[in-house]
Amino acid sequence: MLAGAAAVLVAAAGVSAALAWRDESAPTSAATSAPTGAASSAADDGEPPRRAATAGNPLRAEGPVTFYAPPEPGASRQAELWQDERPDDAELMRRLAAVPHAIRLDQTDARPEVAQRLAEARQAGGVPVFLVNHLPGGDCRPATPTDREAYQEWITGVARQIGPAAAVVVLAPSSLVNLPGTAACDPGGSAQQRYDDLRRAVRTLKSNPATAVYLDGSQADWPGTELMAERLIGAGIEETDGFFLNTAAFQDTDRTVAYGKALSACIAARRATGRTGCPADVQVDPAAMPHFVVDTARNGRGSWRPDKRYADPQVWCNPPGRGVGERPTTETGEELVDAYLWIARPGTSGGRCRRGTDGERDPERGVESPPAGEWWAELALERARNAVPPLR
């Protein structure tokens, strides 16, 4: 599960608070041929294909996109604390803080946060990515009709504050994994209620001319391509800019991209035929395949496989030896992959990891982990040191 608790507001003054990032490095993923003539021509010349610009989606602009975020607060604060006694570690924290991350919107009134970040983004010349995570029942507790209507009013406030500005919205992580009416998730609720809530939210946000919206696509092979295709179709994937992957996981980029392509093809085939499953005998129109973004904030070393045997290994919970991955960029070399983004926070704890044992200590690390969503300095340092490619 994505560890995202309270948003942290960082006081900032003017342009000095702004931070922009542009990844000039060449993409490491293998290039694929694009369906457009221009992209195919570029591929024939031996250059990575460029996606055609799409009106309304800032991630599909021609050429690299500059991302904006304020410095990550936990890493920035840690750099100051370590500056005198641990200068090398402090420098790593500064580099970690400088990578643009998704700006969390889960406050009761998120409009001031949106207004401030958009103003800073304009001055910095960058595009902000907002993680919108205020959905009632997202934790599998029952949501009343009043709660659901209040959420739509909240979304309307966020959308109005964004207005015509270029922005990316990662909408409600785990909302299509933790689905009401399914096992262990609000038995009194229904999947249709969740689909309706997400469809309304998407339509409100997409009423803005330059807002891109992505829905929850989970992670490679879990809970399954067919299941996630069904849920994304139910939630109205055709009205969005696509789906996002890997926010709750550490799967490496190549595996995640392969899963995203399979999920996209399955959605396109089902929508074209009305059939269930993932029809393998259907010629899919590339233009009908949803695009996606990949969270690379923690996947530099891929997923973790414990050497020891645990009753419940909890491979998602503070896995040791992991590192941050590729920096945010739209230069992915993949037609369907709009961007690599840092959505999860590399330095926050995934919660208390007992791995099926008694007691509060993580048997793998030998310490008691901070609660979910809390900053953990040593975890952040571990992931910064293990960065692939290295932080610089």
The pLDDT of residue 184: 85
| Range 211-249 burial, b when 16+ CB lie within 10 A, else e | bbbbbbbbbbeeeebeebbbbbbbbbbeebbbbbbbbbb
The pLDDT of residue 173: 96
44 is in an annotated binding site: no
Residues 6 or more apart whose CB falls under 8 angstroms from that of 282 comprise 269, 272, 273, 275
3-state secondary structure of 77: helix
3-state secondary structure of 2: coil
Number of H helices, E strands in the chain: 9, 9
106 is in an annotated binding site: yes
Structure tokens that stand for 217 in this block: 């696509």
Determine the Cα–Cα distance for residues 179 and 185; give it in Å rounded to an integer.
Answer: 6
DSSP string, 85-119: T-HHHHHHHHHHHHS--PEEE-SSS-HHHHHHHHH
The pLDDT of residue 21: 53
List the chain domain ranges. Answer: 17-23+52-301+323-345+378-385
pTM of the model: 0.86
* Backbone phi, psi, residue 273, to 5°: -110, -20
Mean pLDDT by 10 residues, the chain (392 residues): 34 35 38 30 39 72 93 98 98 98 95 98 97 93 95 98 98 96 90 97 98 97 94 98 97 97 97 93 93 98 93 94 98 97 97 92 94 96 98 92
88 is in an annotated binding site: no
Q: Given CATH 3.20.20.40, say whether it is the number of domain 17-23+52-301+323-345+378-385.
A: yes
Q: Is 278 left (phi over 0), alpha (psi -120 to 50) or beta?
A: beta
Determine the Cα–Cα distance for residues 75 and 68; give it in Å rounded to an integer.
Answer: 16
